[in-house]
Structure 1
């Protein structure tokens, strides 16, 4: 079986970008499709999108920054091999413009939060949504530190959704985490092997 990192290395930048966007659009379509069938009234589903600026700032922005700081501390504490994802994130973010990173991470946050918090958590519960969210990041299954990290973030985002019942809060937090870590990868070349 070919490893995901080997498949990604064979893709051109344009092909990789298409695959990333395609996978997120698929999650978004699944979330939209399931919401039609799992919610008696779509108006109830749309109520979880509330523009509550204090909650968005406190729970969304502050939580996102807290997760980023915790992740960066863990990266400093653990040897590099524990956070090595076979260069996949470096390939995704290493040469991407800031505006492209912004757009991609916004799409990821929006599509994943709609499906996992907006549909799965509201229908099947906190535990199932949090575990499924972690499992969709299957490339981390053989990497205990990375998997535990994504599982902890998943439970944390799910808990924030339990507290606020506002999907805009978790989308904000998720976006901040992905965007800021993408920028760190881009400008510090974290996870990128130096070629001499």
Structure 2
């Protein structure tokens, strides 16, 4: 839809794009070939953030989540990323800028603030050489799920970054990914 549409996500992480997700999934769930009782939600990078955010807002739409290299705690992300220009642009500024409405909206939509509503199994995947979104984000999300009593699994790659590049790691990623979906979405 062009640059203007794409840039509208910046500073509005929990806003219109999430409404778009809900509209899309609700429309797809009406199709006769879709089992609305067995929907999964999967995403990486911004999609990983989306999974964590949706886990606290989905109103029982999904039966399983998979988040790969996603932001779980926006405040920590702002301080620990190596891409400060991107953090300032995308988040609208620092969380301590109390008179900055864009930044305040961004940080008010941090997924970690909605963990009290998590109730759906979640798989968290992250690479320890990811300096854009540190592995601690995935570890924190996993721990939050476990502490809430939500079924969770954590797959950490000590030798991968924001994406999985090594063939054997890719095999493990695929196997773990599909086993998780099979466990929570397949009919018995």
- TM-score range relative to shorter protein: 0.3 to 0.5
Normalized per residue, the structure richer in helix is: 1
TM-score (norm 1): 0.33
